[in-house]
Every structure is written in C-alpha cells, then in structure tokens.
Amino acid sequence: MESTQAQATEVEAGSLKAGQRLRLLSYNIQAGIDTSQFRDYLTKGWRHVLPSRQRLHNLDRIARMLRGYDLVGLQEVDSGSLRSGFLDMTEYLAHRAGYPYWYRQVNRDIGMIAQNSNGFLSRIAPSRVAKYRLPPGNGRGAMVLEFGEGAEALQICTVHLALSRRQRRRQLDFLAERLQAARHVVVMGDLNTSCDTTEFRQFVERNGLNEPGCSKPTFPSWRPIRRIDHILVSHSLRVLNARVLDYPLSDHLPVCVEILVPDGLQLAA
C-alpha cells in the first residue's frame, strides 16, 4: 500500500452536508482512443503505441462531459508516454474539467511505450488516499479515497480488474478485506465481469453492496451487450439515480450515480 498527499490547486472553503447530492462517474477512457466499430481495433491499433492529434481532441470532449460530476474514477489512463505525447492524462483532464484534486496510479510501467494507470478526479478534498497493487501483481491496481473521518467516513474505491476470472476472484477478495470495516462504501470501475457471476455476487454480498444500474450494458460502446463497468454502493447510501451515459468516446460507456451525503458525514469542498 502507498499513501499519498493531494495534488491540488486552491479551492474555495465550504462543505457538503448531510442530505446534499453527490455525483459520481466511472469511465474506462481507453487511453483517449475513440472506437466506434470492431475493425477500429485493427485500423486504429497504432494509436496504442504512437501519438495522435485526434487523441487530444477526444480528451477535450471527455473533459467537457466530466464537468458535471463531483468524483470521477478513470481507467486505462496513460500517465505520460510516447503514445500520449508524454501527457499525463489524469492531470490534463483535471485541469480541463476544473477539478482541484487529482490522483494517478501507474499500474503497468512500460517506459516510453505506455504508462497504464488509474486516475481519480475530485472537487472535494479527501482525508486519505491509499494505492494498492492487486494480486498477483501483474499490472492491476486500486485506489481507495476516504472522505471525512471516523466510522461515518465515505470510502471510494476506483479499480480496474483483470480479464481472468481466477485473478478477479483474488482481487475482489483482496478488496473485500480492506473495505469490510467501512460503513459507507462505493466501488467503481471496469470490473471486467457482469453482475451474475459468482465472484461478483460474493463480493457485493460480503461487503453489503448493491448495483443500482446493473441491467445496463456498457461494452462495446457502439453496440453495448456486456455489463462490465459498475458503480457499487453500500446499502447505507441512498441512491437517487443511476445511469449509463451515451457518450461513446472510448470502447466503454461511462456509468454514473447520484447519492445523498449520509448523516454524520461532513465533506470539505
């Protein structure tokens, strides 16, 4: 585990109080590559290793979409390699979308070729940030951000799980152990599994979670049939709405939920 301090700019003093709305979004942005059909994986595959002007244009479109949210978890972000023009995408999106707090977690460092990462953008100052390398240590990670203090703190976990079911089960068990003591939990990200798999059901039951938007597919973005991007929410949190957004700026669609800040929790904003 690695703890880190906020990378932030000045933000006006204030607070979010119990009963106020909190808007959360999770998005696998595929390193800023827009994909609209399966053959794009072949014809545009070079953009996974080489820079492209179109990538920056697409990141600007993503940034405009992100502006309506308070907390954003990002997957398949590049943190500064040849393919991104040595641009830290998390930092770029934070500045373009107006987020004062941003965090990145490099999970697979391939030098100049790629810096595969998770990212997190926040309009609220977290009290703690922890980064975990998920088992078996093959380039997958999770960030857990804590908002507030004590038993009523809100724990937000952003994660990108493995393709292998066996590895996903180990990774979900790992996360369950670290989140089990928290009362208010949100787990968001590309879980690479649908809601009806054994590992998914065991995880949500063990941690007292529900998936308010589980009936809505997110992949592939141009004709979604798979439900692999999720925002899981504790039963203690009231969900006002949950949606899959029709923004096909990646090969995944973004998912969002709106929750109420629970009683007893003060969030600095």
d(CA 138, CA 159): 14
Copy the structure tokens of residue 150. Answer: 């004590």
What does the mean pLDDT of the chain come to? Answer: 89
Q: What is the pLDDT of residues 4-40, one digit of tens each?
A: 434 443 333 346 777 889 999 999 999 898 888 888 8
Average pLDDT over residues 42-69: 86
pLDDT at residue 2 above 50?
Answer: no
What confidence score (pLDDT) does residue 35 get? 86
pLDDT digits (tens, 9 = 90+) for 50-61: 768 888 999 999
Domains, the chain, ordered by start = 2-6+22-268 (3.60.10.10)
Residue 24, SS3 per DSSP = strand
| Statement: residue 213 has pLDDT above 80 | no
At residue 269, the pLDDT reads 62
Distance CA 265, CA 18 (A): 6
Radius of gyration for the chain, computed over Cα atoms and rounded to the nearest angstrom: 17
Name the more confident of 111 and 235.
235
Q: Is the pLDDT of residue 194 over 80?
A: yes
The confidence score (pLDDT) of residue 9 equals 36
What are the tens digits of pLDDT across the range 108-167? 888 878 888 999 999 999 999 999 999 998 789 999 999 998 888 999 999 999 999 999
Give the residue-averaged pLDDT of 254-260: 96
Phi, psi (deg, nearest 5) at residue 31: 55, 35
Q: What's the token pair of residue 207?
A: 């941690």
Dihedral Cα 124, 75, 96, 223, nearest 10 deg: -120
Q: Tell me the CA distances in angstroms from 28 to 178, 252, 254, 267, one per residue in order.
A: 23, 6, 7, 26
The CA-based angle 136-131-215, given to 5 degrees, is 75
Has this prediction a pTM greater than 0.85? yes
| C-alpha distances in Å from residue 155, one per residue of 1, 19, 28, 129, 190 | 16, 17, 20, 10, 18
pLDDT at 5: 38
Q: Residue 155 in 3-state DSSP? A: strand
Vertex 150 angle, CA 149 and 156, to 5°: 65
* The pair of three-digit structure tokens given for residue 66, joined into one six-digit string: 């992100």
| Strands, sheet with 209-210, edge to edge from the N-terminal-most edge strand | 2-3, 128-133, 141-147, 154-160, 184-190, 229-234, 209-210
pLDDT tens profile 78-95: 998 878 778 999 999 999
- Write the DSSP assignment of 58-94 as a string of letters: HHHHHHHHHTT-SEEEEEEEE-S-GGGTS--HHHHHH
pLDDT, residue 223, reads: 95
- Whole-number pLDDT of residue 135: 95
